[in-house]
Amino acid sequence: MGEAVRMARAEFGPDAFVLQTGKARRPGLLGLLGPNWVAVTAGRDDERHEVVQVKREPVATSDQEIKQSQAAKSPKTGAKPKQKQSKRKSPSAQGRAQTGSQAKKPTKTPDQGRSTQRSLPASGTLPETTTATGAPAAEDKLVELVTQHLLERLRQQEVADRYLDELRPIFYRRLRQGGEAPQQRLFQVLTEQFLPAPPWRFGERPYVVPLVGPTGVGKTTTIAKLAAMHALTLGHKVGLLTVDTYRVAAVEQLRAYADILSLPLAVVYSPQEAPAALERLSDCELVLVDTAGRSPHATAQMEELPAFFAAMGQVHAHLVFSATTRESDLVEVLTSFSAHVPLAGLIATKLDETRTYGCLYNAVRLTGQPIAYTTHGQSVPDDIITADSTRLAGYLVGVEP
Ligand SMILES: Nc1nc2c(ncn2[C@@H]2O[C@H](COP(=O)(O)OP(=O)(O)OP(=O)(O)O)[C@@H](O)[C@H]2O)c(=O)[nH]1
Ligand SMILES: [Mg+2]
């Protein structure tokens, strides 16, 4: 509040006086973009002005404030102020002020019809305007502030800097277009960038989905979840196949799930055995293939995968990664796996173990692949969700459906 008052004084000179202060919370889809607004009505004798200010605080606290101060002409005596339009207010700015449906309604005064209270318009454009002094007008500052606010939130979510730099002009552009509320326009940008994963289509031959990824990310557990979802909930004929034969325990882990779900299981030790194993599962609509965890640095291990998959005919490999993976490690994992295996999608696991979701965005941008599923716990079959763009964007901005 103090900062907003100081701005009003800087704008109108030391003689400026504060007529009214108040706090308002704008409704909005995004908590982060529905900040507390501080409205300061201030003025001096001769003219009305307005100034908009934001005080940025860590976005994780919901107390991010976009402060708006309004300077309105007001008599020191308490008499009715003159109904005089600021010479610095452009006609378009006036129109926006009047149509800003979510703006805090000013106290009823003779000036009400031409209130200079400004807020982000719920719809319409945000044209560039300047003040008489050539400084950017309030709307330009607001575009800057809203953009900065969301970028800061994304930075805290560990969206990689290289993508933030790309997002900035996209956000600016979108904010200047017409349409829904500004915060929704930015949310829409993120939603659009999370490509929807194409549905798995089952035909005459089994739809073969190998899961690949680093050690311990949850490939086998996710296969069990997917198998249960498809077999029990969706009624598909599901078969399991494993090429993870390095450890006896790995085969037994998958066999246990196959037994519980009453699904056929084929164990394949070499690429040469793959066609016959798939033949045994030929009456299945979906065959989920478990693979051994691989380090992205173990080139020899990585090179085995294409040989197995080539022997299986058309496959739709999904790369499984943990949402808890450090950014630099994730880049290596994604780069290495996508260099060795043609990917059809991504599966992000262990979202229950983090509150930082930038890796989801980074992974999609780096691989160009959609996220098909996310997993949220160890429980089979419950802790898996079919990913959708809105939900994924929601994780980033702090709106969990
Ligand atoms: N918290 C949490 N744990 C998970 C999730 N998915 C799997 N896990 C756990 O992660 C551990 C490893 O899971 P696995 O399915 O064996 O992982 P994997 O990728 O098959 O491992 P390797 O075969 O050794 O490469 C187990 O303890 C799982 O219960 C998840 O979404 N959230
Ligand atoms: Mg496994």
Task: Report pLDDT digits (tens) over 97-119.
Answer: 222 233 333 333 223 322 322 23
Give 16 or 265, the one with higher predicted confidence: 265
Of 253, 295, 378, the residue with max ligand 1 atoms within 8 A of its CB, to mutate for a pocket test, comes to 378
Of 211, 212, 221, the residue with max ligand 1 atoms within 8 A of its CB, to mutate for a pocket test, comes to 221
Ligand 2 centroid distance, CA of 211 (Å)? 9
Is the per-residue pLDDT at 195 higher than 80? yes
CA trace torsion 141, 142, 147, 150 (10° rounding): 130
Ligand 2 centroid distance, CA of 216 (Å)? 7
Three-class SS string for the chain? CHHHHHHHHHHHCCCCEEEEEEEEECCCCCCCCCCEEEEEEEECCCCCEEEEEEECCCCCCCCCEEEEEEECCCCCCCCCCCCCCCCCCCHHHHHHHHHCCCCCCCCCCCCHHHCCCCCCCCCCCCCCCECCCCCECHHHHHHHHHHHHHHHHHHHCCCCHHHHHHHHHHHHHHHCCCCCCHHHHHHHHHHHHCCCCCCCCCCCCCEEEEEECCCCCCHHHHHHHHHHHHHHHCCCCEEEEECCCCCHHHHHHHHHHHHHHCCCEEECCCHHHHHHHHHHCCCCCEEEEECCCCCCCCHHHHHHHHHHHHHCCCECEEEEEECCCCHHHHHHHHHHHHHHCCEEEEEEECHHHCCCCHHHHHHHHHHCCCEEEEECCCCCCCCEEECCHHHHHHHHHCCCC
381 lines ligand 1 (CB under 6 A): no
Report the candidate in 174, 106, 92, 178 with the shortest Cα–Cα distance to residue 138: 92
Average pLDDT, the chain: 74
Residue 233: Cβ within 10 Å count: 9
Ligand 2 centroid distance, CA of 393 (Å)? 29
Nearest-atom index, ligand 1, CA of 223: 15
Please provide residue 191's backbone torsions phi and psi, each rounded to the nearest 5 degrees: -60, -45
Using 50, 70 and 90 to split pLDDT, how confident is the model at 399?
confident
Q: Cα(146)–Cα(329) distance, rounded to whole angstroms? A: 31
Using 50, 70 and 90 to split pLDDT, how confident is the model at 246?
confident
Give every CB contact of residue 244 below 8 A, 6+ residues apart in sequence: 220, 250, 251, 254, 290, 291, 292
- Mean pLDDT over residues 10-14, rounded? 54
Ligand 1 centroid distance, CA of 254 (Å)? 12
Nearest-atom index, ligand 1, CA of 294: 25
Give every CB contact of residue 10 below 8 A, 6+ residues apart in sequence: 51
218 lines ligand 1 (CB under 6 A): yes
Using 50, 70 and 90 to split pLDDT, how confident is the model at 82?
very low
374 lines ligand 1 (CB under 6 A): no
Using 50, 70 and 90 to split pLDDT, how confident is the model at 278?
very high
Please provide residue 52's backbone torsions phi and psi, each rounded to the nearest 5 degrees: -120, 135
pLDDT of 269: 95
pLDDT of 138: 67
- Mean pLDDT over residues 220-236, rounded? 97
Is the per-residue pLDDT at 283 higher than 60? yes
Burial of 24 (0-12, 13-18, 19+ CB in 10 A): middle
Q: Cα(299)–Cα(73) distance, rounded to whole angstroms? A: 72
pTM score: 0.70
Give every CB contact of residue 224 below 8 A, 6+ residues apart in sequence: 254, 257, 261, 380, 381
Point out the least confidently predicted range of 160-169, 183-192, 327-336: 183-192
pLDDT of 204: 84
Six-digit token string for 19:
């007529």
215 lines ligand 1 (CB under 6 A): yes
Ligand 1 centroid distance, CA of 60 (Å)? 29
Please provide residue 390's backbone torsions phi and psi, each rounded to the nearest 5 degrees: -65, -40
pLDDT of 177: 79
Nearest-atom index, ligand 1, CA of 375: 31
Using 50, 70 and 90 to split pLDDT, how confident is the model at 85?
very low
